[in-house]
Amino acid sequence: MSATNDGLAIAPDVRTTRLWIDGAFVDALDGACYDDLDPAGGDVVARVARGGSADSDRAVAAARRAFDDGPWPRMSAAQRAGVLRRLATLLVDHRDELARLESRDAGKPFRETADRDIPRAADNCAFFAGAIEQREQSAFFDRKPFLGAEREIVSLVRDEPVGVCALLTPWNSPLMQATWKIAPAIAAGNTCVLKPSELTPLSTLRLAELCAEAGVPAGVVNVVTGFGTEAGAPLVADPRVDAVAFTGSEATGIAINRAAAPTLKKVTLELGGKSANVVCDDADPDLAVEGSVLAMFRHSGQVCLAGTRLYVQAGIYDRFVERYLARVRALRVGDPQSRESDLGPLITAQHRDRVERFVADADAAGVPALLHGARPGDPELAAGNYLSPTIFAPHGESEMIACEEVFGPVLSLFRFETLDEVVARANATRFGLAAYVWTANVATGLRFAERVRAGMCWINGYFLRDLRQPFGGTGMSGLGREGGRWSLDFFTEPKLVCIAY
């Protein structure tokens, strides 16, 4: 074993990753690396190239050359779609490899990565292959006077690629999020530089290799690993970058929006949430309990869409809460590589500390706790960042635990009486990403959906995705939408060509 500067033991067989620039793996220019740690045990998974501003500069230069002079933007939509379909096939072929890699890197249960995230990544590629082939462009016909004569005119609207795109992705679903941005960007003919979270870079680097294998030309997809201030911020500020797509925290999204403003880049931001999950008196109890547990505790609550504020109507409150608590207590915290585990570790020890501080502050403020999570006592889990669920019953939405995004297995539970009341309380947040309502009455569900301030609302379901539909939020949950035509609108610029004859 050898040791890093942090004193961590490094096995001789731990690999060192490199940046992916212009179709090849390259070292960071200064040779710097950092340790990528396994959340489940604290072991070093890989030594990762620590890209800096000079590396981002050469990645942007490669993407700029590939856009300005390379074949990709000039290929037909059908040709680009063929490459994306090959990429989708490769993702399916490598499902188990990618799922194991991502489960270890992110601490996400293997059954989530294998059964949901990797198939969804493949679906993203296949979907945008079809979407770009089927995208309609417009022509308008008219007659106008010009220089003393009536002229026939035809106005063509060309959807052209926007250029070089900086794509910044989060750590909780790395490969799915990478393809969610790469697929529409390159389907439309753009080139890109991807900066994955420094915490989970491995599946994205593997994706870059698979892109090349599928036939993506050099320079079209580039990956710079490293930290946001060192590798990500230079991408956002670079005047050669035409668009920025970011998924992550509220604070970083605000900083990106400011940094992009001087060059008037296109920006889309998918940020945090504090989503309301409403259970009405007439809800199917089995569906509402199971769906609400999933909506809160998938990936240990480390999901932007998590239904972290649970509102239960008074008529069923006691019965529902009893069943809900029993179901949460039955969740199995354990090794994410096991299909038997429901909750894996939190992403880092520092993030677990942050979640525990939220819990301690709520305790100190006298917020009642119905279930108090803790670090597991199993010695086999002692080295990991594990934390079992906590459920508070705050006095109101102004309590810190009820209004801030904890991003962990911590729920705020409320009782409500009427639909009018719960709509007002659901809207008592600066966020507006998602909302959920469980009811047997379609009219009740639709009235709630019409009035709640959120970019998305599910009735009797959680995160049921049709890729043709928009994804995104209002308020401090972000700017713009992704998915379907909304993604392609973002990654293209409409150009008018008017012909008089």
Extract the tokens encoding 226.
């490293």
SS3 per-residue string spanning 331-379: CCECCCCCCCCCECCCCCHHHHHHHHHHHHHHHHCCCCEEECCCCCCCH
Cα dihedral 263, 176, 305, 403, rounded to 10, equals -50
Q: Which residue, among 247, 271, 254, 276, has the nearest Cα to 453 in the 3D structure?
A: 276
Q: Which amino acid is at 114?
A: A
Distance CA 356, CA 366 (A): 15
Q: Is 23 exposed, middle or buried (0-12, 13-18, 19+ CB in 10 A)?
A: middle
SS3 per-residue string spanning 426-461: HCCCCEECEEEEECCCHHHHHHHHHHCCCCEEEECC
Q: Which amino acid is at 252?
A: T
Extract the tokens encoding 432.
């507006």
Catalytic residue selected from 102, 112, 230, 270 = 270
Pairing of strands 138-146, 191-195: unpaired
Distance CA 461, CA 134 (A): 29
Extract the tokens encoding 361.
């502050």
Distance CA 35, CA 16 (A): 9
Give Cβ neighbours of residue 428 (< 8 Å, ≥ 6 apart): 397, 403
Catalytic residue check, 136 = no
Active site residue ranges = 270
